[in-house]
């Protein structure tokens, strides 16, 4: 039965299956750039054997089988589960004993097409202005009066695969004064910063920096909907309108420990836009996927034409080399191994003095990677013994298993060092 479940899981619809149907048309039409086309090409070949194969031997029944290698692309929903779990474990180790808060920063819809035409510039600006805003508020002695522990994750999609850039921020409700070595906690466990003042400060910084980018001629205005913004008068009119609007910033105290939010965000750190579990079917040139209604909590389905589905997915492909997870304050690379350790020790000391209870473990189960089950007997005792990439056949453990020859062709065979 376990073996049959493993075979059924292998037949589950995956994103790569859908992209393989669409990629010839997408390539012929040519409406994607080189980077997006390269990413979609890798995703479409994931798990097909074109990127290589890995040989496994079952320690229970001795059966041997070849399985295709994944693409290991950061946009792939099939390859990121194990990486996401390792990332979450690393973030949990960096927590300090203090209240934690989850903030979400968004931008008005009038700027979405500007983001689409200038993703690298504006995603970077998004991170910079949010981090500057939070650092300014954190230094204020009325709030934290020190350096907080903060990380941010960029998301660009909503629940229906639409375009909706927003930043998730997880920050400790405590600031560490490096001059005195004191850790100052928030006065109330459910209040970090005044939200309206936070949103207004972020709005002003972002719009001012956006105007500077435009004046320096560092922005593109390619889409018809925003082409008129190349005229400074039209751009200034838009910026004045946006400055008069109330921008949305959500801030919530995290109940049950920060590990819960870390586990939630980890599921979206090594995949983009949609998971394989949400894909329902592909038939007659249409893709059906599920989404959850925020108001009712009900799971609903939506069907899109194949090329529209691919177009929506491609909108969420990040610029080459762009980091969508960034660390600030005590979590910055310069302070993580030194100042953060001091802050964690000070937080433990303060907790003992105040007699605070030990933080409760996370109640949200981590997303489990797919089990490596033998298709012959169902045992989870598979061991990788050889890998085939291109013309190279590498024996990983030659002293444990007697291996058959490579599957086909004249290949170079070598032992792993």
Q: Tell me if 70 is assigned to some domain.
A: no
Separation CA 101–CA 53 (nearest Å):
44
CB–CB of 99/253 below 8 Å? yes
Burial of 146 (0-12, 13-18, 19+ CB in 10 A): buried
Q: Tell me if 223 is assigned to some domain.
A: yes
Q: Could you write out the DSSP letters of every residue in 170-187?
A: EEESEEEETTTTEEEE-S
CB proximity list for 155: less than 8 A, separation 6 or greater: 164, 165, 166, 167, 168, 268
pLDDT by 10s per residue, the chain, length 417: 444 444 444 568 999 999 998 877 777 766 778 888 889 989 998 888 888 888 888 888 878 888 888 888 989 888 877 788 888 888 888 888 888 999 999 999 999 999 999 999 999 999 999 999 999 999 998 888 899 999 999 999 998 999 999 999 999 999 998 888 888 888 888 889 999 999 999 999 999 999 999 999 999 999 999 999 999 999 999 999 999 999 999 999 988 777 878 887 887 777 788 989 999 999 988 999 999 988 888 999 999 999 999 999 999 999 999 999 999 999 999 999 899 999 999 888 877 766 555 444 444 444 555 567 887 787 787 888 888 876 666 666 554 444 444 555 444 444 444
Q: Tell me if 9 is assigned to some domain.
A: no
Q: Tell me if 159 is assigned to some domain.
A: yes
Nearest 10 degrees: Cα torsion 385, 389, 391, 392:
-40
A 10 A CB-CB count for 113 gives: 18
Q: Tell me if 16 is assigned to some domain.
A: no
Q: Tell me if 186 is assigned to some domain.
A: yes
Residue with tokens 């500007």: 114
Tell me which residue of 8, 41, 46, 6 sits closest to 27, measured CA to CA: 41
**CA–CA–CA angle 347, 348, 353 (5° rounding):** 95
CB–CB of 310/318 below 8 Å? no
- The residue segments making up the domain with residue 185 are 81-273+316-354
The DSSP bridge pattern shows strands 392-395 and 412-415 to be parallel
pTM of the model: 0.85
Tell me what pLDDT residue 33 has: 82
Number of domains forming the structure of the chain? 1
DSSP alpha helix (H) spans, 297-336: 306-314
Q: How many CA atoms lie within 13 A of 264 on its CB side?
A: 15
CB proximity list for 180: less than 8 A, separation 6 or greater: none
Tell me what pLDDT residue 353 has: 66
Query: What residue ranges in 140-248 does DSSP mark as E strands?
Result: 149-157, 163-172, 174-177, 182-185
Separation CA 309–CA 307 (nearest Å):
5
Tell me what pLDDT residue 150 has: 94
Tell me what pLDDT residue 392 has: 66
Tell me which residue of 253, 263, 300, 307 sits closest to 285, measured CA to CA: 307
Separation CA 65–CA 380 (nearest Å):
14
Please give the backbone phi and psi of residue 225, each rounded to the nearest 5 degrees, phi first: -70, -20
Separation CA 390–CA 401 (nearest Å):
23
CB proximity list for 8: less than 8 A, separation 6 or greater: none
Quick check: helix, strand or coil at residue 169? strand
Separation CA 268–CA 153 (nearest Å):
9
DSSP alpha helix (H) spans, 94-177: 112-117, 119-139
Q: Is 76 left (phi over 0), alpha (psi -120 to 50) or beta?
A: beta
In tens, the pLDDT along 367-394 reads: 555 567 887 787 787 888 888 876 666 6
């Amino acid at each position: 039965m376990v073996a049959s479940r493993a075979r059924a899981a292998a037949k589950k619809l995956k994103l790569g299956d859908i992209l393989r149907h669409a990629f010839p048309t997408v390539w012929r039409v040519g409406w994607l750039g080189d980077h997006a086309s390269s990413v979609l090409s890798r995703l479409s070949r994931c798990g097909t054997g074109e990127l290589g194969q890995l040989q496994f031997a079952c320690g229970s029944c001795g059966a041997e089988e070849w399985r295709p290698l994944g693409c290991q692309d950061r946009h792939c929903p099939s390859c990121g589960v194990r990486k996401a779990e390792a990332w979450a474990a690393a973030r949990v180790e960096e927590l300090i004993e203090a209240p934690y808060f989850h903030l979400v920063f968004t931008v008005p819809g009038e700027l979405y097409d500007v983001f689409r035409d200038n993703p690298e510039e504006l995603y970077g600006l998004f991170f910079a202005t949010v981090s500057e805003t939070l650092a300014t508020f954190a230094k204020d002695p009325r709030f934290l009066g020190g350096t907080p522990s903060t990380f941010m994750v960029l998301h660009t999609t909503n629940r229906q695969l639409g375009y909706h850039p927003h930043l998730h921020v997880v920050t400790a409700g405590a600031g560490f004064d490096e001059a005195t070595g004191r850790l100052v906690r928030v006065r109330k466990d459910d209040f970090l910063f005044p939200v309206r003042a936070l949103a207004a400060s972020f709005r002003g910084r972002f719009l001012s920096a956006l105007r500077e980018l435009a004046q320096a001629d560092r922005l593109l205005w390619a889409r018809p909907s925003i082409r008129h913004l190349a005229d400074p008068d039209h751009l200034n009119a838009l910026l004045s309108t946006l400055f008069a609007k109330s921008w949305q910033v959500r801030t919530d105290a995290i109940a049950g420990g920060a590990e819960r939010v870390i586990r939630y965000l980890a599921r979206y750190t090594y995949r983009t836009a949609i998971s394989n579990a949400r894909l329902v079917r592909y038939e007659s040139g249409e893709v059906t996927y599920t989404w959850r209604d925020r108001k009712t909590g009900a799971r609903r389905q939506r069907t899109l034409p194949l090329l529209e589905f691919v177009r929506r997915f491609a909108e969420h492909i990040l610029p080459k080399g762009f980091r969508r997870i960034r660390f600030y304050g005590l979590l910055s690379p310069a302070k993580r191994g030194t100042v953060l350790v001091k802050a964690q020790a000070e937080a433990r000391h303060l907790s003992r003095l105040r007699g605070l209870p030990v933080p409760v473990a996370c109640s949200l189960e981590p997303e489990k990677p797919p089990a490596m089950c033998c298709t012959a007997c169902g045992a989870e005792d598979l061991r990788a013994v050889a890998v085939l990439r291109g013309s190279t056949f590498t024996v990983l453990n030659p002293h444990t298993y007697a291996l058959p020859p490579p599957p086909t062709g004249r290949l170079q065979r070598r032992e792993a060092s």
